[in-house]
Amino acid sequence: MNKKVLITGASRGIGEAIARKLASEHYDLYLTCHHSEEKLHTLATWLENEYNVSVGAFLCDMSSNREVEKLFRHIPSLDVLINNAGISYFGLLSEMSPESWNQVINTNLSSLFFTSRKAIPLMLQKHRGKIINISSVWGSHGASMEVAYSASKGGVNGFTKALAKELAPSGIQVNAIACGLINTEMNLRLSEAERRSLIEDIPADRMGNTAEVAEMVYSVLSMPSYATGQIFTIDGGWL
């Protein structure tokens, strides 16, 4: 029987790449997105036909506990949770509204609480499970003009380490992957000059791609159970 994985924010970018990789490795998938429902269903159908796996596609605002609880009514069994859904805000903190702050924090950080509290009982039934949180190097180092995003990803790192200690006796691994500069739609706001400036500080001399992050996710899933509470970094040698 195939293992079951929930991937949030799976209609594009890193989430889509993870879905493609894990489907190719014979995982059954539960996929969510917030806005791109048609695109998500197209991806789900393609993955089912290409890899002969079961794929459920759900529209869900991961910043809403009520919507996450509705989502889990469709998930009777779960082996892996991948918290990938995330948004950014670029601008001066002094000009950021409380509503925008809450949206970033709830989507990037509170969503981990909403999903984990529902996933953990399903994993405890099997005495095993894996949770992977997609984080960012800015969670450790901070990015100018992205205070809320940096704060949320710093919270993801702390959440990961603390929950790993809580769940280790139950055989559930909790890890995070801190991404550096990855070629995603989130980074399209960068001008060509800004991209070149950032790449100059990356020893690999390029942006990463989403398929590489997906391979990293699969590698972490394949690690022995003693590997837990870790923040694995994929950043081209930047740090």
Judge whether 149 counts as a catalytic residue.
Answer: yes
Q: What is the DSSP string of 29-82?
A: EEEEESS-HHHHHHHHHHHHHHH---EEEEE--TT-HHHHHHHHTT-S--SEEE
Q: How far apart are CA 71 and CA 86, in angstroms?
A: 17
- Tell me which of 27, 30, 149, 218 is the catalytic residue: 149
**C-alpha dihedral over 167, 159, 113, 97, to 10 degrees?**
180
- Alpha helices (H) in the chain, listed in sequence order: 13-24, 37-51, 65-72, 98-105, 111-124, 138-141, 147-167, 192-200, 210-221
CB 157 within 8 A of CB 178: yes
User: Catalytic residues, which ones?
Assistant: 149
